[in-house]
Structure 1
Amino acid sequence: MIDSPEAKFAVAAVREAAQLVRRVQAEMVTDALEKGDKSPVTVGDFTAQAVIARRLQDNFPGVKLVGEESAADLREEAGTETLEQVTHFVRMVLPHATAEEVCDWIDFGTADAEGEYWTLDPIDGTKGFLRGDQYAVAFALIKDGQVQVAALGCPELADATSPAKGGDGSVLLAAKGQGARCQSMADPSAEWKPLSTSDLSDPAGARVLRSVEKGHTNMGQIDYFAEALGITADPVGMDSQAKYAVLAAGGGEMLLRLMSPKMPDYQERIWDQAAGSLVITEAGGRVTDLDGRPLDFSHGRTLAQNRGVLATNGPLHDAALEALKSVGA
């Protein structure tokens, strides 16, 4: 399936979308942007979802898309300016798109998450996008609760491991049972490189990939977890599913999504985990929830049967689960 029509489409879709949201970023994220203004990422989200939805309809008629966005606000008078901006960027790749078509394509992503469907996070890493740091386009095919194909577009990562602002970026592809690999985002003819997680088995040297944004997880508990595991290596700060890419490529050993004390009942959204989880497991790593259970994508738009996320290189996973128990995570 790594060379299947679905896999080839996923790569082409995230490459096009990632390059397009980069143009949104270049035009809209300026020094004059007021603090707290998220309009560029809003425009980027809608633009990417509209384009991928249209491409999906053209290539796989009848398939479903479960996306993060809905066009409801764009159809209101208050959303007119944003819709005009989104349509402007969509027309860069679909020149004859109308505003009404753009809304319809975005709303194609409001399907029910059941049976066979694609799921999309058009820009994962809002703050990273606005800062010019890490963000990702995350796209995955799910059948009967199992992720089958996954693609990540990471514009600010080189070789899926190293932050490189303004560089060529990386596209990652994984297919269930067939491994994971990466390619330059800028060159569709570039060589595909196989991905393999780190083989580190000593917890002391484990590099924990941690969100820069403190509201996304329980930072204090991660500190206790690292102490319980005896970790002495410096953590790696990074937002979005770019962390998953780095872990899959051997640039770190562990990442966690713990329950934030501000949102103790939060349920992970499927589009935040589907693509990254398959990339890691197909590179040799392991992904479970905090209780060691596999992620279950068969309960709608959230991981309703799971609690948080633990992803590791593999050899460190059991020790990490024990450390989580010891700190009450």
Structure 2
Amino acid sequence: MAYGNELTVALLAVQRATLLTKRVFHEKAKGTVSKDDKSPVTLGDFGAQALIISAIKRNFPNDEVVGEEEASVLRANNTLREQIWDLVQGARLENSDAEDKIGGPIQSVEDLLDAIDHGTSAGGPKGRIWALDPIDGTKGFLRGGQYAVCLALIVDGDVKVGVLGCPNLPVDDSAPLDENVSSDQTDETGKGVLFSAVRGEGATSRPLSRGALQQSQPIRMKDLTDVTQATFCESVEAGHSSHGDQAEIAKLLGITKSSVRMDSQAKYASIARGAGDIYLRLPVSKSYVEKIWDHAAGDLIVREAGGEVTDATGKSLDFSRGRTLSENKGVVAASKGVHAQVLEAVKTVLESK
């Protein structure tokens, strides 16, 4: 398999980091602080980023990383710094099998901070660049809903490998989505999934586990031809995607089922395995620009599962422009059988505004 080593490292790194986030998920106090843009960041975000970047740097030392977090707040906060150090050390001990293969050079608190700060690449059209979101859907993480640990390898602007760790989704790929998926979730037995894809090799799911990777199975999008029967996924947060526009699009398409709202790239994963059919993320303002770490892994997984992903104008998502999708507006993901119909409805609604 092309990029086989990269896939293995990514799967093990995301699995180890996801297990760390699960420990924080069960804590009442998650060490939450606010970033400059007022968005929350937790102990889980910092710890997961440190573990994943350390694995990348051990195995692919010349690769760059575009990560969401940086360590300045930790350098100024002794308590948070020590809490994250304990979490990271605990995760490494719990996953000793994986540690032998992907462990990183985190031997001190300074190593941990440096690992987090290796995520400052500017991205761009050349070279090997990993896009990392250590906890996508932090607000879902805080409310007890869906979240995902997300990692993708971009080579010369093209996504080649994508992995999503979704601890609160059911292992059963045939499990239907329901309207309660955005809150009161657990990672109990029967939940926790690693989704992955390699360009040209298809997409898979496997149960999240400790240590060795579990057996994978292929996933495919549902072969949908009647768009009125579609299960429609959208973001929980109105600040991330226009709920009003999306409701108009659903009405225009004749979709009568209530939309399923969930946080994170768990939406990409859910439609890729056929639990949902359409994912829309429409811009809430003309100035809003998506970040590459919020879409790179999910975009590849959906496309390799037989789906189609474009922006609201029909252009493919362009991951070669740096840290953002500056050449794209919105996201339209659906099975190939209905994507054109969905896109036409999106254009009709947006052009009428």
Question: TM exceeds 0.5?
Answer: yes
- Output the amino acid matched with 1:8: T
Distance (whole Å) between structure 1 residues aligned to residue 145 and residue 51 of structure 2:
23
1:166 aligns with 2:166: no
Residues 234 and 281, structure 2, Cα contact 8 Å, conserved in 1: no
1:192 maps to: 216
Distance (whole Å) between structure 2 residues aligned to residue 40 and residue 221 of structure 1:
26
1:214: how far off? 2.0
2:204 maps to: 181
1:127–1:85: structure 2 CA closer, same or farther, 3 Å change rule? same
Residues 119 and 142, structure 1, Cα contact 8 Å, conserved in 2: yes
Residues 167 and 208, structure 2, Cα contact 8 Å, conserved in 1: yes
1:24 maps to: 24
RMSD of aligned C-alpha atoms? 2.4
2:73 maps to: 73
1:206 aligns with 2:204: no
1:3–1:193: structure 2 CA closer, same or farther, 3 Å change rule? farther
1:118–1:16: structure 2 CA closer, same or farther, 3 Å change rule? same
Residues 152 and 161, structure 2, Cα contact 8 Å, conserved in 1: yes
Distance (whole Å) between structure 1 residues aligned to residue 349 and residue 27 of structure 2:
45
Structure 1: any 5+ residue segments left out of the alignment?
Answer: none
Residues 228 and 326, structure 1, Cα contact 8 Å, conserved in 2: no
- Output the amino acid matched with 2:13: A
1:62: how far off? 1.4
1:94: how far off? 4.5
Residues 288 and 309, structure 1, Cα contact 8 Å, conserved in 2: yes
Distance (whole Å) between structure 2 residues aligned to residue 55 and residue 129 of structure 1:
24
Residues 309 and 333, structure 2, Cα contact 8 Å, conserved in 1: yes
1:219 maps to: 243
Instruction: Give the total of aligned pairs.
Output: 323
1:161–1:220: structure 2 CA closer, same or farther, 3 Å change rule? farther
1:103 aligns with 2:99: no
1:258 maps to: 282
1:278–1:139: structure 2 CA closer, same or farther, 3 Å change rule? same
1:89 maps to: 87
1:318 is paired with a residue whose SS is: helix
2:325 is paired with a residue whose SS is: coil
Residues 87 and 97, structure 1, Cα contact 8 Å, conserved in 2: no
1:299 to 318, 321, 324: 321
1:139: how far off? 0.2
Distance (whole Å) between structure 2 residues aligned to residue 68 and residue 217 of structure 1:
19
1:234: how far off? 2.6
2:26 is paired with a residue whose SS is: helix
Distance (whole Å) between structure 2 residues aligned to residue 216 and residue 161 of structure 1:
28
1:88–1:128: structure 2 CA closer, same or farther, 3 Å change rule? same
2:267 to 243, 249, 272: 243
Deviations 1:49-97 (A, max 9, x none): 0111111111112111110011122223xx2222122112112134773
How many percent of aligned residue pairs carry the same amino acid? 45
Q: Give the TM-score, by structure 1 length.
A: 0.92
2:46 maps to: 46
1:98: how far off? 2.1
- Output the amino acid matched with 2:53: A
Distance (whole Å) between structure 1 residues aligned to residue 153 and residue 17 of structure 2:
17
- Output the amino acid matched with 1:125: G
Q: Give the TM-score, by structure 2 length.
A: 0.86
1:102-121 to 2 correspondence within 5 Å? 102-114=112-124, 115-121=127-133
1:58 aligns with 2:58: yes
1:128 maps to: 140
1:285 maps to: 307
Moved more, 174-183 or 185-194: 185-194
